Amino acid sequence: MALTLQASDPAAPDAMVGRAGSFHEVKRAIEQLHEAGATVEISTVLTRDAVTHLPQTLTWLATRRWKTWLSAFMPDRDLPAPEPLHPTIARLRETLADHERATDAAVLSFVGVALCAVPARLRDRAFGAPLSHGGNAVSVPACDRCAMRPRCPGVSTSYLRAHGDGDLIPLGARPA
């Protein structure tokens, strides 16, 4: 069973999904499924709001010994105004680096996240292709110099429209 949990502060996911009580419903479902012995997969989609709450969410998950997979926000189509939805790669990278203990304890995997946003010690937990990205994941010229390019999913076109490619940092040197 897979459930989405965007933040551990009850008001945040309720606001993100537009429904009061959604946090408590998801939390209760996770607890009941665990008690019943079911395997529960928790997903956190890396929207700007989710990254704002990510340090607290990862700590909250780690204290319960629950793990999440962090999924890139990859809309199925270009959004008319993507800026409020996409966190910057730099912000995600800094958040994960600044909260190392919680990140190490609570993150099971990264799905569709540009590898230059993932701390080096966790890149073995990264899966290049998002589950569904509507065909809009792209790489930019800086990606061509990156040693991780063969494993990296790139970024969505709506991310590039929102933030450009300045935060995409080639890792190492790609063999010629």
Each domain of the chain, given as residue ranges in start order, spans 2-163
Cα(174)–Cα(91) distance, integer angstroms: 25
Spatial neighbors of 155 by CB under 8 A, at least 6 apart, are 72, 89, 114, 137, 138, 139, 140, 165, 168
Instruction: Name the band, by pLDDT with cuts 50, 70 and 90, for residue 76.
Output: low
Cα(79)–Cα(70) distance, integer angstroms: 21
Q: What is the pLDDT of residue 162?
A: 86
pLDDT tens profile 78-102:
667 777 788 999 999 999 999 999 9
Mean pLDDT, rounded, for 22-28: 93
The token pair that represents 80 in the structure block: 């008319």
Q: What is the pLDDT of residue 92?
A: 96
Is the CA virtual torsion 48, 53, 58, 61 positive or negative? negative
- Evaluate if residue 137 carries a pLDDT over 80: no
Q: What is the pLDDT of residue 57?
A: 96
Cα(67)–Cα(105) distance, integer angstroms: 7
Q: Which amino acid is at 30?
A: I
Q: What stretches of the chain show up as alpha helix (H) in DSSP?
A: 11-17, 22-35, 48-63, 89-98, 100-106, 141-144, 157-163
Q: Which amino acid is at 29?
A: A
CB 79 within 8 A of CB 85: yes
**pTM value?**
0.88
Cα(120)–Cα(86) distance, integer angstroms: 22
Mean pLDDT, rounded, for 165-170: 92
Cα(113)–Cα(96) distance, integer angstroms: 12
CB 145 within 8 A of CB 173: yes
pLDDT tens profile 59-75:
999 999 999 999 988 77
Q: What is the pLDDT of residue 124?
A: 92
